[in-house]
Amino acid sequence: MAETINVGLVGYKFMGKAHSNAYRQVAHFFPDVALRPVLHTLCGRDRNAVQQAANELGWQEVETDWRALIARDDIGLIDISTPGDSHAPIAIAAAEAGKHVFCEKPLANTLDEARQMRDAVQRAGVVGMVNFNYRRVPAVQLAKRLIDDGRIGQIYHWRAVYLQDWIMDPNFPLVWRLQKDAAGSGTLGDLGAHIIDLARLLLGEIESVTGLTNTFIKQRPVLAETTGGLAAAGGTQMGEVTVDDAALFLARFSNGAVGSFEATRFAKGRANYNSFEINGSKGSIVFNLERMNELQVLFDDDAADVRGFRTVLVTDASHPYMQAWWPAGHIIGWEHTFTHTVRDLLNGIASGTTPDATFDDGLRCQAVLDAVVRSDSSRSWVAPAYE
Ligand code: SOE
């Protein structure tokens, strides 16, 4: 039986729920995982709400102050599933306390914070991993293998969109994701970060960008903080939206490819449409998260009479992670990408190696986000400040 590691999770809403599920599932489906996670302590500011979440999600204890959580010597891994403004203080304190750190994306709200976080985990010699979970979709892993094996030749184009539509109602309230102080940015950092990370995974570094951001709805109803959540403030008090609703940018890659990126929460009818297309000299690849078990491929060396896009169902046991689940064709879902990520995190901690996406990956993604914002204001091409 593998050794265990006690996890302290800060945040218990959407991402906290997805992370809790991954910790619960990982050792059942990957029995060879080198460390078995114990859902030890769940941390949140509101004691009643976090206790209820702990009961529902299977956590043993609760804390209401992340500093107290980090001070405990019975916690080995700190998982940060909070809004972006708390990523840096929690991660830096955790690393300095010798805890491994698993942080939701994007790594930080600013490039400077991301650099401090990366330096902190490197100084402490602890594992620091960012939850860019789409790296561990088997179909994305197949895309990477096809590219790395040269199956589509020289890469010319990267074309990616990440489209949602959950805030198009003007009455949707001013939640934290719509406030720059809390979230750092809007769709750019929330959704754009994912397609930037996938671009870096599949094509390599981005040399320069030129972009724009836009906020379609500039004022929204303010919510009053209530115990355990938010409720509409009395009357129609309105507040300023201080982040982007949409972000579009072009990129030049170091490998000579060119790229287009679009992230928005105003694509009516698109629920979670994260899709990329890669065109090479010998073929093309298309991925769509809403059909995440499939990869569309086209190879020049197919016989002419059958040459065209074909759909590969990426569920055979030969594909990464798939041997843990079900027989071919019994498809997996969004939540499985978190279990894959946690499995590699735990194996990394056990072996003393940091799996990708490392905090340096997170920093490089943040540098691209920062460059898009600077490009938007300067209306010029900008090189990410990686150093
Ligand atoms: C909301 O936009 C969100 O939950 C993102 O924050 C996640 O990173 C993405 O995977 C799904 O959509």
Q: Look at phi and psi of residue 268 and say left if phi exceeds 0, alpha if psi is from -120 to 50, else beta.
A: beta
pLDDT band at 233 (very low <50, low <70, confident <90, very high): low
| Overall pTM surpassing 0.95 (yes/no) | yes
> For ligand 1, atom 5, which residue shows the shortest CA distance?
190
3-state DSSP assignment of residue 102: strand
Over residues 148-174, the mean pLDDT reads 98
pLDDT for the residue numbered 363: 98
214 CA distance to ligand 1 middle (Å): 19
Cα 356 to ligand 1 centroid, rounded to whole Å: 19
**From the alpha carbon of 104, which atom of ligand 1 is closest?**
8
Asked whether 257 and 251 are in contact (CB, 8 A), the reply is no
* HEC assignment per residue over 313-369: ECCCCCCCCHHHCCCCCCCCCHHHHHHHHHHHHHHHHHHCCCCCCEHHHHHHHHHHH
Instruction: Count CB-CB contacts under 10 A for residue 386.
Output: 15
pLDDT tens-place string over residues 314-345? 999 999 999 999 999 999 999 999 999 999 99
> Which ligand 1 atom sits nearest the alpha carbon of residue 190?
6
Distance 307 CA to ligand 1 centre (A): 36
How many degrees, rounded to 5, is the angle at CA 108 between CA 111 and CA 126? 100
Which domains are seen in the chain, by residue range? Answer: 3-134 (3.40.50.720), 138-291+293-332+363-378 (3.30.360.10)
In ligand 1, the atom with minimum distance to the C-alpha of 194 is 8
Q: How far is ligand 1, taken at its centre, from the CA of residue 121, in Å?
A: 25
pLDDT band of residue 32 (cuts 50, 70, 90) is very high
Strands 310-313 and 273-280, sheet pairing: unpaired
- Tokens describing residue 386: 């990686």
